[in-house]
Every structure is written in C-alpha cells, then in structure tokens.
Structure 1
Amino acid sequence: MSTLTKQDTFSGLLESAPKNFESIRTLAKGSYLSQGIPAVKAEEYKFTNISKKLEQKITDFSPAMPLAVTAEQVKAAIYEGFEGDLLVFSNGQFLPELSSNIEGIEISLISEKTDLVLGSIAKPEKDAFAALNQASFQDGIFISVPKKTQVEKPILLLSFDQANTGQVIQPRVWIEVGDFAEVTFIDQSVSLGDSSYFVNEVVEVKGGINTHIHYYRLQNEGKNVTEVSTIEADIQKDSTFNSVNISLSGDMVRNNLNLNLIGSNSEGNMYGIYLLNGKTHVDNHTNVDHTIPHAESNELYKGILADHSRGVFNGKIFVRQDAQKTNAFQQNNNILLSEDATVNTKPQLEIWADDVKCSHGCTVGQLDEEALFYLQTRGIDKLQAKGLLLHAFAGEVLEKIAVESFREYCDSLVQERLGSKF
C-alpha cells in the first residue's frame, strides 16, 4: 500500500477527466484505485521510491493545459540536419497548426476515434501509471500508417513541456502500422522552465504482419521533472520493432518498455544508454514476452553514472511454454565515475520452453585503468582519454540509430556530456 492516499493524490486529475471513452476510463480508474501509487515495498519499484518523490512535490495534482508555442520555438528546437515530418505537442496536446501534413498517413485526435480500444495493448491493470493516464488523459494523437506504405523520412514527435509545480502532463499516443509497412519515429521533449511537474506518458503501438517499426526516444527533461513513460508494442509475424532510448536528465525518471512478440519470425530489439550526473535517478524497466515459436529478442542497455546519480535496470524476458526455438539475449553494462553513484541491475529470464537459446548478464565497474594509461602514453591527456573511452562505451548503443542526422545529434550530446569533444 502506498504512503499516499490513493484517491486524494490525483483526485483533481480524476475529477477533471473528459467524459469520452467513459467505460474505458471507468475501468482504468478502478485499476488505479485498486493498485495505488507503488510504494517502495512493491517489487517492481523497490529501487525507485516514486511514491515518496511525488509526495514531496505536492499532495494533489491537476492537469496541465496546453501553452502557446511559436513557429520560432519549433524551428529552434529541431535538431540540426533533421529531414522529415513533424508533429508538435504542447503539454501533451497535439498542435496541428505547427505540424506537417503527412501525405498518406492518417493523423487525428484520439477523441475523434470513438471506437478505439485504449488500453488493449498497455493494459491498465498491469501498472498504476498506465491506469492513471487512461483514466484521466485530456486528449491524445492517433497515427495510422496504411498497409504497404514505406515512410522513408522519420516522423519527429516534438513535445514542449512547461507546467507549474503540482501539474501533470499526460501524453497519449496510439500508433497503428499496417501490413508490409515501415516507419520511423523520433520522440523528443523540450522542457521550458525549471518547475517541478510530473509527466505520465503512454504510447501504444499496434503492428501488422511484416512491419518494421523504429522508435527512437531522447529523454532530456528539466532537472526537477518526475517522469513515467510507458511504451508497449504488439509485434506480429515477420515483423521487427527497434527501440533506442537515451536518458540524460530529470529528477526521477521511470522508463517502461514492453514488447509482446505474438507472431513467428518476429523480432524485438531494445537498446538504451543513460548518462547521469547530479542527483538524477533513472529506472529502465523492460519486458519482452515471447509467446510463439521462432521469435528473437536482443537487448543492450548501458549506463555511465557520476556524482550522486542512481541508475536502475530491470529487464525481464518471458519465454512461454509454446515459444520453442526462441532466441533471446539481454545485457546491462555500467560504469561508475563516482563513489557516490549507485546502480541496481537485475536482468531476468523466465523460461517455460525447453528448445531455446537465451542468455543474460550485467556488469558494474569503473574505467579500465590500463586502457586509460595506454592512451596517456600516446600523448592524450587524462581528461580527454577518459572521455574517449566513455564515448566508445556508449557508441555501441548509439550506432543502433539508423537515422544518421539523429545519431549524429545524439552523439554530440553524449560527447558534450562526457567531455570527449576535441
């Protein structure tokens, strides 16, 4: 049971919920009230005391309404070299007037899709924050890529966040990708101001047969922001889902990524890098559910932690009884740059099938002193040598980004953080 009063904490949020999707919202509200905000005693949140963090911020939250965003702000926020289409949001709400008209793709407000079964992928009974979002989100965006459509340019989901202390931003995104289609999304948020607000995002992805979906996410919120992000995807036969998540900033951040492999020859690839300093706390929770034979998953998360920062990694791979011929790989590697930095890592395998190839592992250590010394003997000063080694460590994840301009942008952010630019 949470130390917070389950209903009172978000009572303002629940009371202000729109009246559409009434049955779905009622179901989600019941799920939220039965679960409550997870306390530190909850196994899934044992290293991330988000209940305490939210209690420190405010005792009652209210929804953050959209703020005015100018074309100049949008232009300044787009990373250099971007070529693609743009969907702009303010405090989680879609701004069509600043967004691209993407030919051949349906884009509408979720409120216009009255027959949409929200929560059929990111089920509210599985997590309190997914339930809270479904019960009280204001509106969201529906994106549908028709079958056999090859979207050659990436779609940038650019979110501007600015809220007062005690306000909640709740983005809601539904993505459908038809059979034999391919699309790339880049999810990026820009924090305007340093107030202490809460972001609670849910993204549901419904893939068709032989689809190829790439989802890249850059998490770089303001230093006082608490954030929970839940992304869940259904992956069908002969399909691939590639995810790269980069976490750089925030107060307390929880990233939930869940892949459901529900078709043969499906593949899920999950990559992440977290570069933390100060007192930033980032918790990456991943879940791959192998439900059918002949599917594959690959997972690699890396962390570099300095100062008093804290990282958490909990990766779960489920191989169901019928999921023979499964290949699953999972690895989490961490480098601690400070005696005060900590990481809790827990890769997990639960296997009920007997004809599988599965492996997992984790490492926590410091920089290789021999490699550092070697670079110094070649005339590279210690600080630069340290940055080069750390950049090489992070590069194994960054190279998984197929969009060259975005990969170069993320690489520049990493180099700037690590001090390896020269």
Structure 2
Amino acid sequence: MNDSTLYFKEYFDQQQTGTTSVLNDHRQQAFAAFSQLGVPGVKHEEWKYTRINSLFNTQYRLQSADTLQAADINDLRLPAHEAANELVFINGRYVAALSTLRSKNLVLLPLNEAAEGEYAAIVDQHYGHSADYLRDGINALNTALSDGGIYLHIGKNTEIEHPVYIYHIVDARAEAVLAQPRSLVYLGQNAGVTIVETYHTIGNADSFTNQVFEVAVEKDARLEYYKIQNDVASANLVSTSHIRQTGASHVNTVTISLNGGIVRNNLNLVLEAPYCEGHLYGLYFQQGNSHVDNHTIVDNVAPNCLSYELYKGILDEQSTGVFNGKIFVRQPAQKTNAYQTNKNVLLSKTASVNTKPQLEIFADDVKCSHGCTVGQLDEEALFYLRSRGITQQAAQALLLQGFALDVLEKIKLAPIRAYVDSLIAGRLQFTQS
C-alpha cells in the first residue's frame, strides 16, 4: 500500500463494520482502485496542471454531521429559499434536521436505503457510472469513503415545482476536515427539476471536499443544474458532476467559480439516446492565489444529438486557470452537432491559464467545432469608454460584465441569476485597473 492508502484505511475499515448495504461491493472495489491508483500526480495527464498532492499532507478528520445548528447556517441560505427544497450536507453527510422538503412529489432517501429497496435496480444501473470516465484515485476515494449520501427520485410525468437547493457546508472551526458528499438523482420520463448547489466553509482550518454527484435523465425529462462556488481561500474542492441522458432529453448546466483554494470541476455529459440536447456553460473569475480547473467531457454515443459548450474565464493577480474540454463522437453517433468554446481574459501579468479543447470523432456525418482564446481587455474599447468620461475602473467593469453576460443569462432561475449577478458586481468593485 502507498502512504495515502495507509492513511485512509482506518476510516475505510470503520465504515464497513456492521454495514450490510449492497453499496459495500462498490466501496470494496473503489478502495482497491484507490490503493492501486493513489493520488494523481504530474504524470497523470488529466491532472498535469492541477497538483493536489500537497492537500494530502494535511491530517484531516472525517467529522460527524452534528456540529452545526440552524442558526449557524441561516446566513448561507440562497435567495428565495422559503420557496425551495433545501438539502443540507454538513461535513459531507446529509442532515435531515436542517433540511426542508416542500415538494410532496420529490422522493428523498438515504443512499443505503435506496440501494436495498424499491429503487435498487435504478441505483445498481447508475451508481458509480462516473468511474467509467474518471479513472483516478480521487473519484475512487469518494466511492470508498462516502457516508450519509442521498438518492433523489423524480418520478414519471413529475415536475418539481420548487427548486432544489443543495448546501455543502464544512465546519472547519476546530480542525482540518475531509468531506465526501455523494448523491444520485434520477429523473423519470417527462420529469423536470431545477437543482442549485453551493459550497461554504465555516472556520479557518484547511478543508478538502471531494464530491460526486451522479444524475440519470430519462426520455423527455428536463434538468436545469447550477453550481455556485464562492468559498474561502483555505477550502479546496474536487467536484464531479456526471449526467447520463438515457433518453431523448434536455440538460442545461451552468458552473460559476469565484473563490476557493484549489478547485477542480469534473463535468461529464453522456448522450446515450438519439435526439438528446445538452448545454454546458461556465464562468470562472479568480483572484489572489486561487486555482480553478474545469474538465468537461461530452460523450456522443447515439446519433442526432446536439451539444453546445461555452466556458469563460477572468483571471486576476496570481490566480491560475485550466480548461480541458473533450468531445467524443462515437461511430454510431452520426449527424451529431457539437460545439465547444473557451475564452479567457487575463487582468494581470502574473495570472495564467492553460486551455485545451479537444475533439475525438469516429463518425463521418457530423458538425463539430472547438476553439479557445486567451487575451486582455480590448484597449480600443477601454479608450472609447474613457473618452466618454468613464473612469478606468468603471470602464473595465463594464467590459467584464459584458464578457460574462452570455454565461450568466443562461441561469433561468431569476433569484439565483440576480444572486450571481450581485456576486460578480461585488467582485468588479475590487478589480484593479
């Protein structure tokens, strides 16, 4: 065993004691995979620009979920939370006492129970599917150590009228924390839901959240999925979102990354049925020494599918960014339309970004494109605004707001869009000329 495996083996053994869940097979296999793969380093192609080895030098605790009360998290609640389903994770574990379900037709179960009850076949089909695309020790570690995960079921012809807000909160007031939240969501035929995830750390100790969020979307279902990251500098995050479109369906995702230590977003969209449509949008606005890495996979398995991907980055001070987007078009996926663009603006000479859009096409009747740009703000546009009496800082803010607009407008939930707009506006007030 390597050092990382020895460090986590005690936790792994504790979780197996007295547990009969069918998920144990997945845990056993995942821990064996982690023992073999370990923590990815610079020789791992998918992690060459994001070095997380140093995070494992910290002695983390897998803390319990009963360290916070409602009063501790009230300030973290999203706008219009009074009309939303609120699911609260503390230190990686779901806490029912702090959560509120307002939609009667939304089924929520502990993942262990769902794996053994009437939804066992669905869990067996979709749980752990992300491991087929992310063959690294970090994904395996979540499967091996996650505890307190949930299963969300939206049945056939069910429209969830209240959005689902998911809060991932880490209590790092006393010591460094390792959190491993796990969720599996199933949308039945002609179902619809809007899901919003946020991440917060309370306290100044180091934290590392290693999340896996898997979704299965059946025929004619609709998923709106928004992820907002605006955490403290001592909070590190690897967030994996894995979405399978198993029927002709529509998926719209928006990822907003504004602050944190090391942030890695894995977003996989697998279009397994003909006539699927998927949209992936992202905005990262980094400053200080923060680092954000967006890895996306769009896998076109079936014909006549459409995907559109647009990620934009703004990097200031000593921040660093990575975009690695892959589009696969399998041989049966004829008449695929797939588009991918990454655009970046560097606001300082010390900020940097590595961008790598990729296409792997095995079909011959397709329309696919990809591209990337890295540059600075348009000097002519800045001069034009300055000549109209606008200050340098205000002119820069106007141009950056315009740069971000075509991502932000893809957030269809009005209170959340206004909330993100306010976060961006607040950040621009401090952007230096």
What code does the residue aligned with 2:202 have? Answer: L
Q: What is the deviation of 1:167?
A: 2.8
Query: Identity over the aligned pairs, expressed in percent?
Result: 41
What is the distance in 1 between the residues matched to 2:349 and 2:430?
A: 22
Counterpart position of 1:70: 69
Counterpart position of 1:320: 330
> Map of 1:406-421 to 2, 5 A cutoff?
406-419=416-429
Counterpart position of 2:87: 87
Q: What is the deviation of 1:61?
A: 3.9
Q: What is the deviation of 1:318?
A: 0.2
Q: In the alignment, which of 153, 156, 171 is matched to residue 147 of structure 1?
A: 156
What is the distance in 1 between the residues matched to 2:362 and 2:15?
A: 42
**Deviation digits for residues 65-97 of structure 1 (CA, Å, limit 9, x no counterpart):** 214333333432223344322112211211222
Q: Is this contact kept in 1: 2:68–2:171, CA < 8 A?
A: no
Where 1:194 maps in the other structure, the secondary structure is: coil
Q: What is the deviation of 1:420?
A: 8.4
Q: What is the deviation of 1:267?
A: 1.1
> Map of 1:32-43 to 2, 5 A cutoff?
32-43=34-45
> Map of 1:82-121 to 2, 5 A cutoff?
82=81, 83-101=83-101, 102-113=103-114, 114=116, 115=120, 116-117=123-124, 119-121=127-129
Q: Is this contact kept in 1: 2:127–2:184, CA < 8 A?
A: no
Counterpart position of 1:211: 221
Q: What is the deviation of 1:306?
A: 0.6
Counterpart position of 2:305: 295
Counterpart position of 2:386: 376
Q: Is this contact kept in 2: 1:194–1:223, CA < 8 A?
A: no
Q: What is the deviation of 1:9?
A: 4.1
Where 1:161 maps in the other structure, the secondary structure is: strand
Q: In the alignment, which of 25, 41, 61 is matched to residue 23 of structure 1?
A: 25
Counterpart position of 1:160: 169
Where 2:285 maps in the other structure, the secondary structure is: strand
Question: What's the RMSD between the two structures over aligned residues?
Answer: 1.8
Where 1:16 maps in the other structure, the secondary structure is: helix
What is the distance in 1 between the residues matched to 2:131 and 2:154?
A: 23
List structure 1 segments (4+ residues) > 4 angstroms apart after TM superposition. none
Counterpart position of 2:198: 188
Structure 1, gaps ≥5 residues long: none
What code does the residue aligned with 1:7 have? Answer: T
Q: 1:278 and 2:288 equivalent? A: yes
Structure 2, gaps ≥5 residues long: none
Counterpart position of 2:3: 5
Counterpart position of 1:133: 142
Residues 186-195 or 74-83, more deviating: 74-83
What is the distance in 2 between the residues matched to 1:69 and 1:10?
A: 25
What is the distance in 2 between the residues matched to 1:368 and 1:13?
A: 53
Cα 1:119/1:127, change in 2 over 3 Å: farther
What code does the residue aligned with 1:15 have? Answer: D
What is the distance in 1 between the residues matched to 2:213 and 2:24?
A: 20
Q: Is this contact kept in 2: 1:388–1:420, CA < 8 A?
A: no
Counterpart position of 1:234: 244
What is the distance in 2 between the residues matched to 1:165 and 1:312?
A: 30
Q: In the alignment, which of 335, 340, 355 is matched to residue 345 of structure 1?
A: 355
Counterpart position of 2:55: 54
Where 1:112 maps in the other structure, the secondary structure is: helix
What is the distance in 2 between the residues matched to 1:46 and 1:62?
A: 27
Counterpart position of 1:336: 346
Give the TM-score of the pair, scaled to structure 1: 0.94
